Amino acid sequence: MTATTTAISPREMTPSLRAARAADLDSIRRLLGEAALPADDLSTPMLAGFVVAERDGRLAGVAGVEVRGDEGLLRSVAVAPELRGSGLGEALVRDRIGWARGRGLRVLGLLTTTAAGFFPRLGFRTIPRADFPARLRETAEFSEVCCASAVTQVLDLAPAEIDPETIRAVVREKYGAAARDVSHAPARCGCGGKTNAVTRDLYSVGETGGLPSQAVLASLGCGNPTALAELRPGETVLDLGSGGGIDVLLSARRVGPSGKAYGLDMTDDMLALAHENQRKAGVTNVEFLKGEIEAIPLPDASVDVIISNCVINLSADKRQVLREAFRVLRPGGRFAVSDIVVRGAVPAALRRGLELWAGCVAGALEHDEYLRLLGEAGFVGASIEPTRVYSGDDVRPLAGQLAISEADVAALDGAFFSGFVRARKPRA
């Protein structure tokens, strides 16, 4: 393959990217012909892996991935002459890298005769022709079209599995920083902070009145479980991942002096903030515990209600979290949490993003999987009620960190939502 973009300029790009359509085939062939790139083997089905750039209703660029099993061949990268050097070529290639990752491809290969120096800046490395991925050697571009002198390059797309302790460390650092900053500015949450679609307007003025301002600023949740859990006087409540303590303090109000509210968090800075907020609020029926939600430091059958606010999705072992929740609940106890939930498949690259684990998205459970895991843990009557559905525009700032393709961002419209997850422990 020969790429026509060899330089990047800071000029703003005006073309918009979209998935290629069957009606684009002739225009794509024409653009490739202008760039002296092969097009004879292109077919309408192959366009499923192509993206095009449009400007003023005219095709301005194209790039494609030809898929063979779990391997992909990056090909047909071309830009209109007047836009060469604008950065459009790089944008097209990055989009296809994101597309390939989102479909779980293991490797992306390419052949080039003129741009061997361009692609390494995007992570490609040159390899001997004999080491080119086996399935990609079967393509017409490798075996027939490109000459034997073409440079062969590959990009590995599947990083090593992220271990739970690494995820835990990222989450701890992110939320520790939020606790440290809360007295100076609105809390910095992986979900985006107080103006983000996930965290805004979760509590009424009546609820937050009388609470320390730092407790409100440190609210990094995605719902209001204390309002939805129907807490009753005298009950014992446990908040998993209690952060700055807002939901624990609100729960303490609802259960009254004859009840008790526990908060569990693994982050020292958040625990220090929570204790300070408890002192300022003058609440005595509260206890904050240090620990991990996968190993709750309370005895069996010791609480009536478990709440949580956008925290279970941060765990790398959600099955264990739900088992622990079931263990510490009394018979007839209630599981009533707010969490990020997803409908359908999520691009693999989004799932692999460590920063997005700390940002409430990458670790979200799929709707039916959440219900299944609750059942496996022993819960009955499980249900998930959407409370806030997020658009593609809400997800785009997070997805952009991992070069997720625009097509994948569009597909995420309405896929993520904040939900109220209910279940109960049987009485017998």
| Other Cβ atoms within 10 Å of 201 Cβ, number | 9
Q: What is the pLDDT of residue 344?
A: 72
Cα(204)–Cα(188) distance, integer angstroms: 21
Q: What tokens does 182 get?
A: 């809360």
- What percentage of the chain exceeds 90 in pLDDT? 43
The domain at 16-156 falls in which architecture?
3-Layer(aba) Sandwich (3.40)
Answer whether CATH 3.40.50.150 is correct for domain 164-424: yes
pTM of the model as a whole: 0.60
Cα(128)–Cα(254) distance, integer angstroms: 68
Q: Which of 194, 107, 104, 114 is nearest to 147 (CA)?
A: 114
Q: In 364-416, which ranges are continuous DSSP H helix?
A: 367-377, 392-399, 406-411
Q: What is the pLDDT of residue 11?
A: 41
Question: Distance between alpha carbon 356 and the CA centroid of its chain, in Å?
Answer: 5
Greatest pairwise CA separation for the chain in angstroms = 81
Q: What is the pLDDT of residue 12?
A: 43
Domain extent listing, the chain = 16-156, 164-424
Cα(281)–Cα(302) distance, integer angstroms: 25
Whether the Cβ atoms of residue 317 and residue 164 lie closer than 8 Å to each other: yes
| Other Cβ atoms within 10 Å of 133 Cβ, number | 22
Q: Which of 126, 152, 128 is nearest to 139 (CA)?
A: 152
Q: Which residues of the chain have pLDDT under 70?
A: 1-14, 145-147, 158-163, 183-213, 215-221, 345-362, 395-408
Residues 6+ apart with CB under 8 A from 352: 101, 159, 162, 362, 402
Q: What is the pLDDT of residue 351?
A: 61
Q: What is the pLDDT of residue 174?
A: 76
3-class SS of residue 8: coil
Whether the Cβ atoms of residue 187 and residue 181 lie closer than 8 Å to each other: yes
Q: What is the pLDDT of residue 215?
A: 64
Whether the Cβ atoms of residue 423 and residue 386 lie closer than 8 Å to each other: no
